[in-house]
Structure 1
Amino acid sequence: MTEHESLNNIELGEFEKVTELLSSSYEMQIAFISIIIGLSVLFVVYNKFSKWIDSKKISYTRPHLSRFIKTVLLPVFAIVLVSTMSSYVQLSVLSSDVVVINTVTEDKKDSDETKAIFSKILATINVIVIGFAISRIIPIILKKRKASDLEREDFDAWMDMRGFDDDKEDLFHQLFEWVPPKKAPKDMDETEFQKMLQTKEGRDILEQYRTSKDQPIGTFKPLVDKPFEKWKESERKKYEEYLEACLSGNNESGQKLRLGATPQEVYPIDMWREEKRLSEYEKVEPGARPPGFAAKRRDGAPKSVEHAIPLIFMAAVVIGIISWWGVDLFVLGTVVAGFGVGIGFALKETMENLFAYLMIRKDKIIIEGDRVEVEGYNGYVKKITTRVTYVRHALNESLGIFPTRLFISTKIINYTKDMQFVPAEVAVGVSYLNDARQVTAILQKIGKRAMTEITNEKGEHIVVQKRCPYLDENKPSCGCDKKIFVDLKQPIVRFVEFNSSSLDFKLWVYVREYGHQFKVETAMRMMIQEEFAKYDIRIPWPIRTIYQGDEEKEAEEIGKQDEERKKNLQDHGIGDVPIK
């Protein structure tokens, strides 16, 4: 049987009777036209209502509630309209003699059948409206649940950071009291531990202390009932202050920002929370970003499963309605499958990209934000789609666009998976007259300086490390000691080679993001020049030097700083190189 013959043999069930019903009565035609016009007017009014409610505070302070209200009102009014029209037709049209166009008089059996078909049509409209409403409500419920989970994660981050920077009156210690452990951690002397417990400064240091395995010590005892709810109340007050600053003009833009504006000028509370997460919980300054900044930043972000739910649910509703009306689904499915096979051959590469996309998502081969190298192109995965994948160059030079199937059919290097750091490496050569162990110790010192001294504009350490140096200053960790899943030992110094005119060394540490290594390498080279000058460590000129009796003099000059270099060797050692 060909596709054309199958299509002709599809049984349309009771759909065939609908045409007969509409052609049988002027009143019936008017009733259907009235329903269509009424629904159209309802949609127009609903769109205006949606824009109106989007400009009210409730859409910003209670976004999930406002979405629910907007979603529920449409089906409620649509059902009322359809039910009203159904009652009118039942009472004024079907209860009387039907005026037929072809002047054929229906008997009582035909009249009952007409009423049943009409009732079924109206019921179908109601089912579609209700199905549409449910398909929109489910994502709202899932988003609300996800928002609650994220809120709990925010609370955990707040606990870990011992409060956010924008907290008022030391909120954390109003809600929690630190209880020290019974004995000192393994990497701390017991006497020192007990001594620190006797002073407030010492207890503050212990409260922020983390072990070599990045674990805090002690516990926190809540001082109030339901501290999570108190924290939520505090965060909501912060948002209300942010909203008031936006609307009053008392913000960085100096203008009164508008609710419901396009592009968006004010963040709803859920987006406000997300902006805080993206900035590692710094305060969101009112009016600090241009309108539409948040939407632009999320442009190209992967869609969540909630976006597919309305389509899937409505497809199921439509299939159910078609089956209810008596259409042969088997034959219809056969025809659709036949078309699908033909389209599949025509869209072979498209289908390959689609299945590659599904495999990538399932196995998490790559995810948005990973730094990868594909066909020699090094960059961050910006967006994965069913057709192409966008990779932003690691130094923001360009945007690579690759077929998605390429990521499962060719060699991909993922620099981010299970390790989120990049080496910053500096090579340097010194004179043969210098002691290699002393040079190694000086480079160790430089590496340690780089770990503690090199920061970004936010004051965060660029070099990753097991324990954030701020913890030793009784300050919260900047995050340089987070997400380290390997045993990382640094700085690393290696005596690389006996070169023709120098002893060659390499020093490297690991930074948090690709691109940061250039800043760290520059800073370490400056430190090398500074420290080498301090200890009279000489870097040979990149030319051959012919000594004419000056070697002893140079050795004597270098020897003058030997005591300082020996002291530095004792203070900083030579890393993990087993030389005494």
Structure 2
Amino acid sequence: MAEEEISQISAGEFEAVSQLLSSSESLQLAFIIMILGIIGIVFGYRKFSSWVGSQKFYYKRPHFSRFVRRAVLPFFAIALITAINVHTQTGVLFGEISSIEDETISAHEQFAKILNTFNILVIGYTISHLVPIILTKREKSILEKEDFDAWFELRGFSDDSEDLFHKLYKWVPPNNAPEDIDEKEFQELLNTEKGRQYLEQFRTSKGNPIGGYEKLVDNPFEEWKKSERAKYEKYYQNCITGNNQSGRKLKPGTKPDEIFPIDVWREEKREHGYESLIPSSRPPGYAKKKREGLPKSAKQILPLGIFLATILAVVAWWGVDLIVLATATGGFSIGLGLALQETMQNYFAYIMIRKDKIFVEGDRVQLETGYNGYVHKITPRVTYIRDALNESIAVIPTRQLVNAQIVNYTKENKLVPAVVKVGVSYLNNPRQVASILVKVGKRGMREIVDTRGRHLVKQKRCPYLDKNKPSCGCDKELHVDATQPVVRFNEFNDSSLDFSMWLYVRDYGAQFKTKTDLRMIMYEEFKKYDIRIPWPIRTVYQGDEKKEFEEISELDPDRDKVIDEFGMGDIGRGEGDE
């Protein structure tokens, strides 16, 4: 039945095209010239595109350059087709052409319609590729504004020159002393430059800064952008002059890319905490390789949709009955849909995951099977979850993840407790032990950092602020009441008093290094104060318990000082205690 319907589809005016082309040798020649001209423009475009990719402005203005590259080919193609169309309109070409059999449509009109069809297809192709570039530019502009906000929060980036932040903004102290500082001390601090710097970095017990900022220039955002472009100019010059890590001159336009365009340069800086990017620190093609296999966004699919809509519009313009065509192909579509049922389920599951943001690339998740890792890549067919130790990758059909129970350690709240359990001797005073564990936790909050010097433990006030340094960000995004460290006396075990102590770290992976470092600090403090960890075995005790107790009691004054200085957290406090 479908075959009969297809045979009944009206080809519209397409039937007259072959008759038109065979009606005149000059018309055939014009058509051949147009095709050859388009082919020539395509080859010329490739040369032009390669030249643009090797120029400096391509790296400094990548979106504009891509726009120009996409627009040049259609511009010349439209110019060629329009020139031939104008030539036909003058009647020079059609002087020798006789009318075709259908007298209602002249050869002149028919050939002009063919040329207009080419123009419409070229325009549709151009729009389909220019719209994503415009949308990408808008998205990058939004990200650039977010980078500026991050720069403001950090009071400048580490690679800024000459304290750019304080050239654009001036700190204005509050009129009254904050509740955490005495009025007299506050006034004394205001009278010295060092004191004002301290107050500018100060955070209250609730984690809030004091004072405010007023602009020293009309548009700080534009001044900041100029500074960032100057940094990129320096990066680019270091690349092409050989003043880089490899010591060789990097060539623009090479494949794979050796130099980051400014938009990729910004993205790399954003991913690495806005630190300065070292030229040649990454292998050629690093940025492209890193993004290989990532799922296509709507902007990448948009060109195909626009161009298909253009083709359908042209087909309808030529008189083809789209309803009959759709009906005839309906049976085929149903059969294809049944064959691709699982593929479509995966695709719609992919859309749901993206729309509802159940999880995204980079989230730490645990599956029903117990597999725990990072979401590496989500595609319309399968989802890749990488083990945290990089020992394996789980490949799961995307549709299965919609109905599965998934634990997401990253979504909404990234706080994760790093818990360390320890048992101590029955001869030690549990109050003293609790206080020493509080001291261990407070040391950990200050001392445990990553390779870039950022604190792994989330806290209300970054310890760097006490040293009059910018916060590393450990005091940001702490929206819950998390008093730290937390110490608990868990139970009376067979051979030990069991305690646990935990701190809240910034993400799931940070807990492992934090627990390791806490154990190191704990060992030092226990050794210093003679807090004994019993052997995890059962023995018949034959020692002199009184003598051992006297040995432990020798350091009671030192341990009591720790209680006075650090307290015991919330252990031993009643509901009415403060």
- Deviation at 1:187? 4.2
Q: Which residue of 1 aligns with 2:540?
A: 546
Match status 1:536 vs 2:520: no
Q: Which residue of 2 aligns with 1:155?
A: 148
Q: Which residue of 1 aligns with 2:228?
A: 235
User: In 2 relative to 1, CA 30–175 (structure 1 residues): closer, same or farther, beyond 3 Å?
Assistant: same
Q: Distance in 1 between matches of 2:360 and 2:133?
A: 25
1:110-129 mapped onto 2 (5 Å cutoff): 110=103, 113-129=106-122
- Deviation at 1:502? 0.5
Q: Which residue of 1 aligns with 2:43?
A: 44
Checking the alignment, whether the CA contact within 8 Å between 1:27 and 1:93 is kept in structure 2 is no
User: In 2 relative to 1, CA 417–332 (structure 1 residues): closer, same or farther, beyond 3 Å?
Assistant: same
Q: Which residue of 2 aligns with 1:328?
A: 321
Checking the alignment, whether the CA contact within 8 Å between 1:420 and 1:484 is kept in structure 2 is no
Q: Distance in 2 between matches of 1:406 and 1:189?
A: 60
Q: Which residue of 2 aligns with 1:67?
A: 66
Q: Which residue of 2 aligns with 1:260?
A: 253
Match status 1:425 vs 2:419: yes
Q: Distance in 2 between matches of 1:524 and 1:120?
A: 78
Which of the numbers 352, 362, 365 marks the counterpart of 2:358?
365
User: In 2 relative to 1, CA 487–74 (structure 1 residues): closer, same or farther, beyond 3 Å?
Assistant: same
TM-score scaled to structure 2, two decimals?
0.95
* 2:219 alignment partner AA: K
Q: Distance in 2 between matches of 1:336 and 1:188?
A: 78
Q: Which residue of 1 aligns with 2:464?
A: 470
Q: Which residue of 1 aligns with 2:285?
A: 292
Q: Which residue of 2 aligns with 1:201?
A: 194
Match status 1:390 vs 2:384: yes
Q: Which residue of 2 aligns with 1:5?
A: 4
Checking the alignment, whether the CA contact within 8 Å between 1:301 and 1:382 is kept in structure 2 is no
User: In 2 relative to 1, CA 535–138 (structure 1 residues): closer, same or farther, beyond 3 Å?
Assistant: same
- Deviation at 1:290? 1.6
Q: Distance in 2 between matches of 1:478 and 1:233?
A: 25
Match status 1:451 vs 2:450: no
Residues 194-249 of structure 1 deviation map (CA, whole Å, 9 limit, x = unaligned): 33222222211221223344432211111122222111111111111111111110
Q: Distance in 1 between matches of 2:404 and 2:555?
A: 56
Instruction: Name the SS of the counterpart of 2:275 in structure 1.
Output: coil
Checking the alignment, whether the CA contact within 8 Å between 2:409 and 2:508 is kept in structure 1 is no
Identity of aligned residues (%): 55
Residues 448-503 of structure 1 deviation map (CA, whole Å, 9 limit, x = unaligned): 11111111111111222222111111111112222333322221211111111110
More displaced stretch, 330-339 vs 468-477: 330-339
Q: Distance in 2 between matches of 1:464 and 1:257?
A: 41
Residues 74-108 of structure 1 deviation map (CA, whole Å, 9 limit, x = unaligned): 1110011112233445557752233xxxxxx7479
Match status 1:138 vs 2:131: yes
Q: Distance in 2 between matches of 1:336 and 1:572?
A: 78
Q: Which residue of 1 aligns with 2:14?
A: 15
Instruction: Name the SS of the counterpart of 2:533 in structure 1.
Output: coil
Match status 1:500 vs 2:494: yes
* 1:3 alignment partner AA: A
User: In 2 relative to 1, CA 261–532 (structure 1 residues): closer, same or farther, beyond 3 Å?
Assistant: same
Checking the alignment, whether the CA contact within 8 Å between 1:419 and 1:486 is kept in structure 2 is no
- Deviation at 1:186? 4.1
User: In 2 relative to 1, CA 530–322 (structure 1 residues): closer, same or farther, beyond 3 Å?
Assistant: same
- Deviation at 1:111? 8.8
Residues 21-41 of structure 1 deviation map (CA, whole Å, 9 limit, x = unaligned): 223333333332322222122
User: In 2 relative to 1, CA 314–186 (structure 1 residues): closer, same or farther, beyond 3 Å?
Assistant: farther
- Deviation at 1:289? 1.7
Checking the alignment, whether the CA contact within 8 Å between 1:78 and 1:129 is kept in structure 2 is yes
Q: Which residue of 2 aligns with 1:102?
A: none
* 1:386 alignment partner AA: P
The RMSD of aligned alpha carbons is 2.0
1:75-224 mapped onto 2 (5 Å cutoff): 75-89=74-88, 94-98=93-97, 106=99, 110=103, 113-224=106-217
What is the number of equivalent residue pairs in this alignment?
Answer: 573
Which of the numbers 391, 407, 425 marks the counterpart of 1:413?
407
1:242-321 mapped onto 2 (5 Å cutoff): 242-321=235-314
User: In 2 relative to 1, CA 405–196 (structure 1 residues): closer, same or farther, beyond 3 Å?
Assistant: same
Checking the alignment, whether the CA contact within 8 Å between 1:445 and 1:572 is kept in structure 2 is yes
Q: Distance in 1 between matches of 2:84 and 2:363?
A: 57
Q: Distance in 2 between matches of 1:229 and 1:203?
A: 27
- Deviation at 1:417? 0.7
Checking the alignment, whether the CA contact within 8 Å between 1:444 and 1:574 is kept in structure 2 is yes
* 1:153 alignment partner AA: E
Q: Distance in 1 between matches of 2:352 and 2:120?
A: 36
Checking the alignment, whether the CA contact within 8 Å between 2:419 and 2:515 is kept in structure 1 is yes
Residues 53-73 of structure 1 deviation map (CA, whole Å, 9 limit, x = unaligned): 100001011112211211221
In structure 1, the gaps of 5 or more residues are: 99-104
In structure 2, the gaps of 5 or more residues are: none
Residues 405-455 of structure 1 deviation map (CA, whole Å, 9 limit, x = unaligned): 111121111111112233322211111111111111111111111111111
User: In 2 relative to 1, CA 539–112 (structure 1 residues): closer, same or farther, beyond 3 Å?
Assistant: closer
TM-score scaled to structure 1, two decimals?
0.94
Instruction: Name the SS of the counterpart of 1:95 in structure 2.
Output: helix
Instruction: Name the SS of the counterpart of 1:220 in structure 2.
Output: strand
Q: Which residue of 2 aligns with 1:101?
A: none
More displaced stretch, 264-273 vs 190-199: 190-199
